[in-house]
Structure 1
Amino acid sequence: MAATDAVRTDDPTRRAPAPLAADPAVLRAFLDGPHAAVRDEVRDALVEHAALLDERLDLPRAELRRRVRDLVVEIGSSGRAAHGFPREYGGGGDIGASIASFETLAYGDLSVLVKSGVQFGLFGGAVLQLGTRRHHERYLPDVLTGRLLGCFAMTETGHGSNVQALGTTATYDPDTDELVIRTPDDASRKDYIGNAAEDGELAVVFAQLEVGGEGHGVHAVLVPIRRDGEVLPGVRVEDCGAKLGLEGVDNGRLWFDDVRVPRENLLDRFATIDPDGTYRSSIENPNRRFFTMLGTLVQGRVSVGGGAVAASKVAQEIAVRYALRRRQFEAGAGSEETLLLDYGMHQRRLLPLLARTYALSCAQQEVARRLHEVFSHDTPEADDRARRALESRAAGTKALTTWHASEAIQECREACGGAGYLAANRFAALKADTDVFTTFEGDNHVLLQLVAKGLLTDYSSDFEDLDQFGMVRFVTGLAVDTLVERTAAHQLLERIRDVLPGGRDSWDTEAGILDPDYQLAMLRFREEHQIAGVARRLKAGVGAGTPAGEVFSAVQDHVIAAARSHVERLVLEAFVERVRAEPPSPSRDVLAALCDLHALATIEADRGWFLEHGRLSAPRSKAITREVSALLRRLRPVALELVEAFGIPSEVLGARDLVGP
């Protein structure tokens, strides 16, 4: 991966690279990052409760839910859920440690992971980020220890991603100094709410706030729903029933029939109601206030992305270990049957997934680092640009990590043949329990639209006021040439001239395929070319008199493609930077080879686009494929070390039929 590797891969005089050797401990330190001790703490706890992974197969749903609830309460009482909360309420004040803990928990039962996320991340996080000191002092100590279980009641049957259009209302009654919570129709019932069906006692309810006959948009209100296990008057609860997975989580539906709560139950960090009934907010623009409020909850997206990567690691370790044990077909007459991982196609199936997992782990650590930096300030408004950049990066990374988990788990299941279909070998649970991650904390396609909006507006000061129609109007207010300059697509070629001695004409001949600057330049060109293309299409459509909504719908596929290309470039940058920061060692050489494999496999997967846009010739495209195959052969001898580095305890990995004792 070093610049010294910048040679033609089709050069017959090229010397074969030295064999790779890896130390799993070095690779594990690379993946664990700065919170290795926290991850080890969770690993030890998972071993203590590993039996649940086997027992859950035979437990009735009610018993499984009880076991999961008890484990979540134990996590709280042990203090392992408090890493990211302020010290004055029993926390550790380290958001990065909180993310690391959550990610590692995903090696075990995912119902425990998700219920913990609901309790401590969503419910506790909303109280922390949207409430003020009186809410913190009253509720957080009990939330963090699991003594008070709660819900995050945002999603409605009729409104999922479109949170601004929620139907639930919270109307201020000045005569009683109370807020009246009402569900006007079944489309406005709170749906898929974790902890609602059985265990939740208090809910953070997102509703349209009305004060003095005037609507102020969506706000969050604390609403009690149970006391001593009994549903309170005015609250109606219904179990969502059997799901595709995560049967240990008690998802439910909530209706509120004019439930009254004190005015002080409004989580009032960004807006409050004075005792005289006056509504006040430090953020005058209602759209900006709404997006600022949601922006404080970004930790949920970061956590889901990390959990997805960790769950995919479980599947990949099982599949790789199986491929190192299972033999099939003789290589020659009278010879021993061949290990699955010695087949080139099997390497093609598994090793690029491993490389992408390492890359996404680096990207995830970078998002967690930025999350900690932004929220270490007293207020997230302190640096609007950094906060908006974090929201965009978290949204895009979550999309790619959760899609990767779905793809990797499925491919690994298939790579284990019929044995992978047995529930005892974990793939059934991994597939079912992670499938919802692609829509948890925002549908992935909607999240990529958020990423694209940020790219098109270049983090305009009006960023938070723009819905999809506002984005179209914003872009059409710019001259196309100006926007192209902003995206710097043409300036990229100038940067390429700095990288390639022969300039643009040498793109396909002089740049080393294993040069990370070349790899990054390829992804950056694709990203910026696509952004400029979206801008042109938006402007042309509106210029032709087409309604803004139709214009956006017509170019939506281009919008998603540009956003995805942007995030893929960020992922590769994070991987390259982390590898470059590693001290020289045999393990660093392995990481460099993994980074090359990830970069070239990404380019290869979209070779059609690069060929169409003059960034690849047919010979160069073939050379990249040959290099990918060469990298697979180089990495094959260290495949076991690559998965051992995940640090998944054998008691937790399970799948004894596949991986052995």
Structure 2
Amino acid sequence: MNPARTAAAWLPEGRTGGGTSERTADGATDPGGAVRAELLTEVLFDGRFDDLHRQWTEVLSRRLFRYQDGLSIPERAELAYTRLRAVNDEVDSVEELVTATDRLVALHEWLGMVDGTLTTLATVHYNLFLGSLLRLDREHVIDPTPFTRLREYGTVLITELGYGNNAAELETTATHRPETDDFVLHTPTAGAQKFMPNTGSAGGRKSGLVAARLIVRGQDCGVFLFLVPLRDERGPLPGIRVRPLSEIPGSAVDHAITSFDRVVVPRTALLAGDHAELTADGSFHSAVGSRRRRFLRSIQRVTTGKLCLSAAALGGARAALTVAVRYGHRRHTFAPASRTGVPVFAYRCHQTRLLGAVARAYAATFLLREAVHACGRGDDRVVAGSGAAGRGTRVEAAVVDVAEAADAEVLVAAAKGWITWQSRDIVTECRERCGAQGLLSANRVVDLFAPIESTITAEGDNLVIWTKAAADMLTGRGYRPPPSDRAASAGPPTDSHHLLDLLVRHESQCLQHARSRLGLPSADPLDRWNHTVNPALELVDAYATRRAAEAYLAAVGRVGDATTRGVLDQLFRLFALQRLAPHAGTLLADGHLTAEAVRELRPAVDRISADLAPHALALVEAFAVPDGILQAPIATEGYAAAYDDPAGPWQAVVVG
């Protein structure tokens, strides 16, 4: 970008009037006229709302899924298991749901609005348990019917008290006995107790996939998953000890700490997939030389889990925004020189905060779609490609597949952290904008906090998975930096692509800074990494933002109606400006912005918010959240009627 450009050359000016979409004097799209929310729904849901989403909006609007006040934690836990069974009854093919990433992610987008406990149970049962079981049981030795029909719930026991993100080092052992051709599962130390699986009493019969260190003839062969029956209607099975953990506010999942005292399981319990084999004579073979990589192959469904959790958090954020924006139009307050007052949304400070949150929710949605597409392109082909070596074009295909899988892994990790953190910030904003009403569980917003906090921690703590992604990006694994000499986009100087160019330049700055820190001399590898890690994390954030922005602009181009496209374009510009504002100093220092442009950042946000304010209800209507799912009195007309008292003194009829 030419640093000599003035602020007016790339920042938006005010609307120039008119009831239809047109170009303003500075080239920006003027979002006049009526926005077609159904077109925004179409682009937000990738044209597949009817195919992937509508069923769940109808199912989860039923009475069973409505908010119930005053339930105890055990009652809420049992209700969540009952609800999961009801969801399962609506699935035509559980195997297809589990193996089709887009379908599983779509389900979680709606579960995340309704019940955080139910969401956790669904993620564990469908993604981690059934997903791993169906993928690793290549010979179809195990009958999955009890689990697909939910006669028995599945859980997963990986994390140990002493081993979380370093689970490859866990201590639980599964020792092979060649004389009986079975395994003895054992918890050798206090630190090896399985931490936080839902192995409690709620839900009835359960089995688990237990991550344990396979010991064959005294040799440590690495960590694999074993299918282990855990409890029946009477309680834990012999040799299995289950102790409830303390309450998690806002959650009723029956989390527990679980240990094994020399529990014998058959050889069919070992789920070695296609990357290892234990022969009948007790010999272990694996095509994967590294024990750590064997473990990562065993828990591959964690990647899909990151997408499911991102979807659940984002669904909650979209529901909160729908409630808050509607309430902002219905809650009246005082106004200067007004006797009747105005809706609180009439105030610019309310508009900029909520519209900024709406813009981030749109960006997060487009980033989620991009990550799901990438995961679908790279996932299963890596497994097939890894065995293709030695045959010309097959080798090339394998290399491409591995590269695509690495790209997808970095993108999914970056997206998970970005989306779940953004979702938490959005819900926090919505809660505040709803005032005291936002503190009531009946209005749903406050109950979204704990489930979103869980998504930030589960399937890898966000900070840890971003740290790994940062290391991969700095070493060139799964990351192709945008060209540093990328030319400024053509067209009007206010075109949104110029804002994307600035996001690209910010990412390049982050990459350069992180690489310079990595190059600092140090004899201590940890000290060297500590010099680098914070700039590297900024790189991951910039990368996720840029990918979200690219997906966002691509979506703008798919909207046919000019007015609706103009509003979506304005919303993108609000997103981009608010994301660029904290980095204006470095962009100024490197000559990508002028001082005048930096001064105009905040006024530009105000102007765009003023343009978008008349369309706020349509923007959240596009989230397509039915009232049956929202269940929030303040999201409806005449919400005060929910608090009416039929015996109140105002009900009395005055005679005479």
Quote the residue 2:196 is aligned against. Answer: 192
Amino acid at match of 1:214: Q
1:630 maps onto 2:630 in alignment:
no
- Cα pair distance change 1:63/1:186, threshold 3 Å: same
Unpaired runs of at least 5, structure 1: 464-485, 502-510
Secondary structure at the counterpart of residue 207 of structure 1: strand
Question: CA separation in 2, counterparts of 1:300 and 1:8?
Answer: 40
Alignment-derived partner of residue 148 in structure 2: 144
SS of 1:297's partner is helix
Match of 2:452 among 404, 426, 434: 434
TM-score (ref. length: structure 2): 0.87
In the alignment of these two chains, the number of paired residues is 604
Tell me by how many angstroms 1:576 deviates.
Answer: 1.0
What is the CA–CA distance in structure 2 between the aligned matches of 1:578 and 1:623, rounded to whole Å?
27
Q: Is the 1:331–1:338 contact (alpha carbons within 8 Å) kept by the matching residues of 2?
A: no
Question: Alpha-carbon deviations, 1:208-235, whole Å to 9, x = none?
Answer: 2221211122211111111344211110
The equivalent residue for 1:217 is 222
Residue 561 of structure 2 is aligned to residue 556 of structure 1:
no
Q: 2:430 aligns with which of 409, 412, 418?
A: 412
Find the counterpart in structure 1 of residue 650 from structure 2: none
2:125 is aligned, of 119, 124, 144, to: 119
The Cα RMSD (Å) is 2.5
Q: Distance in 1 between matches of 2:637 and 2:246?
A: 36
Change (3 A) 1:180 1:611: farther
**Does the C-alpha gap of structure 1 residues 531 and 292 become closer, same or farther in structure 2, counting only changes over 3 Å?**
farther
Question: Tell me, what secondary structure is at the counterpart of 2:114?
Answer: coil
Cα separation, partners in 2 of 1:18 and 1:412, compared to 1, 3 Å: closer
Inter-CA distance 64–275: structure 2 relative to 1 (3 Å threshold):
same
The answer as to whether partners of 1:150 and 1:195 remain within 8 angstroms in 2 is no
SS, match of residue 454 in structure 1: helix
Is residue 266 of structure 2 the alignment partner of residue 286 of structure 1?
no
Cα deviation digits, residues 636-657 of structure 1 (max 9, x gap): 0010111111111112212204
8 Å contact kept, 1:238–1:252:
yes
Distance change >3 Å, CA 602–CA 286, structure 1 → 2? same
Q: Look up the match of 1:265.
A: 269
1:482 alignment counterpart: none
Shift of 1:586: 1.9
Match of 1:530 among 505, 510, 532: 510
Counterpart residue identity of residue 625, structure 1: R
Give yes or no for the alignment of 1:582 onto 2:572: no
- C-alpha distance 439-648 of structure 1, shift in aligned 2 (>3 A): same
SS of residue paired to 1:540: coil
The answer for the alignment partner of 2:316 in structure 1 is: 311
Shift of 1:15: 8.2
Q: 2 CA distance for matches of 1:592 and 1:601? A: 14
Provide structure 2 residue ranges, at least 5 long, that are not aligned to the other structure: 1-6, 15-24, 387-397, 639-656
Query: Aligned ranges for residues 230-629 of structure 1 at < 5 Å?
Result: 230-247=235-252, 249-269=253-273, 270-332=275-337, 334-375=338-379, 377=381, 379=383, 381=386, 383-459=401-477, 487=481, 491-492=483-484, 494-496=485-487, 499=489, 512=493, 514-542=494-522, 545=523, 547-629=524-606
SS of 1:571's equivalent in the other structure is helix
**In structure 2, do the counterparts of structure 1 residues 11 and 30 end up closer, same or farther at CA, with 3 Å as the change threshold?**
closer
* Conserved 8 A contact 2:481-2:508: yes
Q: 1:646 to 1:123 in 2, by over 3 A?
A: same
TM-score (norm 1): 0.86
1:312 Cα offset (Å): 0.4
Q: What per-residue deviation string (whole Å, max 9, x for no partner) do you get for residues 541-594 of structure 1?
A: 33xx2x101221232211211111111111111111121233243212221111
Provide the secondary structure at the position in 1 that maps to 2:184.
strand
- Which of residues 54, 63, 77 in structure 2 aligns to 1:65? 77
Q: Is the 8 A contact 1:157 1:189 kept in 2?
A: yes
How far is the alpha carbon of 1:35 from its aligned partner? 3.0
Whether the 8 Å contact between 2:356 and 2:578 is mirrored in structure 1 is yes
Amino acid at match of 1:118: V
Q: What amino acid does structure 1 have at the position aligned with 2:81?
A: R
Task: Show the counterpart of 2:186.
Answer: 182
SS at 1:244 equivalent: coil
Corresponding letter in the other structure for 2:415: T
Instruction: Sort the Cα spacing of 1:8 and 1:529 in 2 relative to 1 into closer, same or farther, 3 A.
Output: closer
**Which letter maps to 2:61?**
V
Q: Distance in 2 between matches of 1:627 and 1:326?
A: 27
Cα shift at 1:402: 0.8
CA contact (8 A) 1:295 1:391 kept: no
* Partner SS for 2:61: helix
Q: Is the 8 A contact 2:518 2:529 kept in 1?
A: yes
Maintained 8 Å contact 2:186/2:261: yes
Quick check: 2:331–2:344 contact (8 Å CA) kept in 1?
yes
- 2: CA distance, partners of 1:420 / 1:80: 37
Q: 1:660 aligns with which of 637, 650, 655?
A: 637
Query: Cα distance 1:389–1:9, how it changes in 2: closer, same or farther (>3 A)?
Result: closer
